[in-house]
Amino acid sequence: MRIAVEFDAPLAIVDGPLWTRRILHVASGKFDGPELQGNVLSVGGDWVLVRRDGSAELDIRFALKTVEDELVYFRSTGLFVASDAVATRIRSGEHVAPDEYYFRTSILFETASKRLGHLNHALHVGVGQRTATGMITDVFAVL
Protein backbone atom coordinates (compact mmCIF):
# COMPACT_ATOMS: atom_id res chain seq x y z
CA MET A 1 0.00 0.00 0.00
CA ARG A 2 0.95 3.64 -0.15
CA ILE A 3 0.43 5.90 2.86
CA ALA A 4 0.60 9.68 2.57
CA VAL A 5 0.55 11.94 5.62
CA GLU A 6 0.62 15.68 6.22
CA PHE A 7 2.01 16.89 9.55
CA ASP A 8 1.26 19.95 11.65
CA ALA A 9 4.18 22.34 12.22
CA PRO A 10 6.88 20.45 14.15
CA LEU A 11 7.66 20.90 17.80
CA ALA A 12 11.36 20.76 18.63
CA ILE A 13 13.55 20.09 21.63
CA VAL A 14 16.82 21.58 20.43
CA ASP A 15 20.15 20.61 21.99
CA GLY A 16 18.47 18.21 24.41
CA PRO A 17 20.21 15.29 26.08
CA LEU A 18 19.96 13.15 22.94
CA TRP A 19 20.54 16.09 20.56
CA THR A 20 17.44 17.37 18.72
CA ARG A 21 13.98 15.83 18.96
CA ARG A 22 11.31 16.85 16.44
CA ILE A 23 7.72 15.88 17.18
CA LEU A 24 5.47 15.78 14.13
CA HIS A 25 1.74 15.38 14.80
CA VAL A 26 -0.50 13.97 12.04
CA ALA A 27 -2.77 16.62 10.52
CA SER A 28 -4.30 14.33 7.88
CA GLY A 29 -3.50 11.34 5.74
CA LYS A 30 -4.74 8.60 3.46
CA PHE A 31 -3.64 5.09 2.56
CA ASP A 32 -4.45 2.96 -0.45
CA GLY A 33 -3.54 -0.56 -1.47
CA PRO A 34 -5.09 -3.71 -2.94
CA GLU A 35 -7.02 -4.55 0.26
CA LEU A 36 -6.47 -1.47 2.39
CA GLN A 37 -7.94 1.95 1.80
CA GLY A 38 -8.85 4.64 4.27
CA ASN A 39 -7.66 7.53 6.39
CA VAL A 40 -4.82 8.16 8.80
CA LEU A 41 -6.41 9.52 11.97
CA SER A 42 -4.98 12.69 13.49
CA VAL A 43 -3.91 10.98 16.72
CA GLY A 44 -0.42 9.81 15.79
CA GLY A 45 2.85 11.20 14.63
CA ASP A 46 6.57 10.83 14.17
CA TRP A 47 8.99 11.37 17.05
CA VAL A 48 12.20 12.10 15.14
CA LEU A 49 15.58 12.05 16.88
CA VAL A 50 18.13 13.99 14.86
CA ARG A 51 21.47 12.50 15.81
CA ARG A 52 24.79 14.33 16.04
CA ASP A 53 25.88 12.67 12.78
CA GLY A 54 22.94 14.33 10.97
CA SER A 55 20.91 11.18 10.40
CA ALA A 56 17.44 10.92 11.89
CA GLU A 57 15.92 8.01 13.81
CA LEU A 58 12.22 7.70 13.08
CA ASP A 59 9.58 6.53 15.56
CA ILE A 60 6.32 6.61 13.61
CA ARG A 61 2.95 5.63 15.08
CA PHE A 62 -0.33 5.99 13.21
CA ALA A 63 -3.93 4.93 13.72
CA LEU A 64 -5.47 3.86 10.42
CA LYS A 65 -9.20 3.55 9.78
CA THR A 66 -10.22 1.56 6.72
CA VAL A 67 -13.22 2.37 4.53
CA GLU A 68 -14.74 -0.78 6.10
CA ASP A 69 -14.43 0.95 9.52
CA GLU A 70 -11.58 -1.33 10.74
CA LEU A 71 -8.96 0.11 13.06
CA VAL A 72 -5.29 -0.68 12.38
CA TYR A 73 -2.31 0.41 14.48
CA PHE A 74 0.82 1.16 12.42
CA ARG A 75 4.16 1.20 14.26
CA SER A 76 7.36 1.91 12.42
CA THR A 77 11.01 2.65 13.12
CA GLY A 78 13.59 3.66 10.62
CA LEU A 79 16.24 6.03 9.35
CA PHE A 80 16.24 9.18 7.30
CA VAL A 81 19.63 10.29 6.00
CA ALA A 82 20.10 13.32 3.76
CA SER A 83 22.72 15.97 3.23
CA ASP A 84 21.99 19.41 4.66
CA ALA A 85 21.49 20.72 1.12
CA VAL A 86 18.92 18.02 0.28
CA ALA A 87 17.07 18.51 3.58
CA THR A 88 16.88 22.26 2.93
CA ARG A 89 15.47 21.64 -0.57
CA ILE A 90 12.80 19.31 0.86
CA ARG A 91 11.79 21.78 3.61
CA SER A 92 11.54 24.59 1.04
CA GLY A 93 8.92 22.61 -0.88
CA GLU A 94 11.09 21.51 -3.78
CA HIS A 95 10.42 18.01 -5.08
CA VAL A 96 13.56 15.98 -4.38
CA ALA A 97 13.92 12.56 -5.98
CA PRO A 98 13.86 9.78 -3.37
CA ASP A 99 17.18 8.41 -4.65
CA GLU A 100 18.90 11.59 -3.38
CA TYR A 101 18.39 10.51 0.25
CA TYR A 102 17.76 7.41 2.36
CA PHE A 103 14.35 6.86 4.02
CA ARG A 104 13.64 3.26 5.06
CA THR A 105 11.48 1.82 7.82
CA SER A 106 10.45 -1.48 9.38
CA ILE A 107 6.73 -1.68 10.08
CA LEU A 108 4.47 -3.77 12.30
CA PHE A 109 0.67 -3.71 12.18
CA GLU A 110 -1.84 -4.53 14.89
CA THR A 111 -5.53 -5.08 14.22
CA ALA A 112 -8.47 -7.07 15.56
CA SER A 113 -10.01 -7.25 12.08
CA LYS A 114 -10.50 -10.85 10.96
CA ARG A 115 -10.21 -9.75 7.34
CA LEU A 116 -6.85 -8.08 7.97
CA GLY A 117 -5.52 -10.44 10.66
CA HIS A 118 -2.67 -11.57 8.41
CA LEU A 119 -1.11 -8.12 8.90
CA ASN A 120 -0.41 -9.08 12.53
CA HIS A 121 1.85 -11.93 11.38
CA ALA A 122 4.26 -10.27 8.96
CA LEU A 123 7.04 -7.72 9.05
CA HIS A 124 6.66 -4.96 6.51
CA VAL A 125 9.21 -2.52 5.12
CA GLY A 126 8.66 1.02 3.98
CA VAL A 127 10.41 3.00 1.30
CA GLY A 128 9.69 6.62 2.10
CA GLN A 129 9.72 10.01 0.48
CA ARG A 130 9.71 13.33 2.32
CA THR A 131 7.59 16.24 1.26
CA ALA A 132 7.78 19.80 2.57
CA THR A 133 5.00 19.11 5.09
CA GLY A 134 4.73 15.33 5.27
CA MET A 135 5.74 11.96 3.96
CA ILE A 136 4.74 9.28 1.49
CA THR A 137 5.69 5.67 2.15
CA ASP A 138 5.29 2.60 -0.03
CA VAL A 139 4.75 -0.42 2.24
CA PHE A 140 5.74 -3.98 1.31
CA ALA A 141 5.22 -7.26 3.18
CA VAL A 142 8.34 -9.36 3.82
CA LEU A 143 7.24 -12.91 3.13
> Domains along the chain?
2-142 (2.40.160.20)
What are the pLDDT digits (tens) for 89-112?
Answer: 998 999 999 999 999 999 999 999
89 close to 132: Cβ distance less than 8 angstroms: no
- Give this prediction's pTM: 0.94
User: Residue 118: which pLDDT band, with cuts at 50, 70 and 90?
Assistant: very high
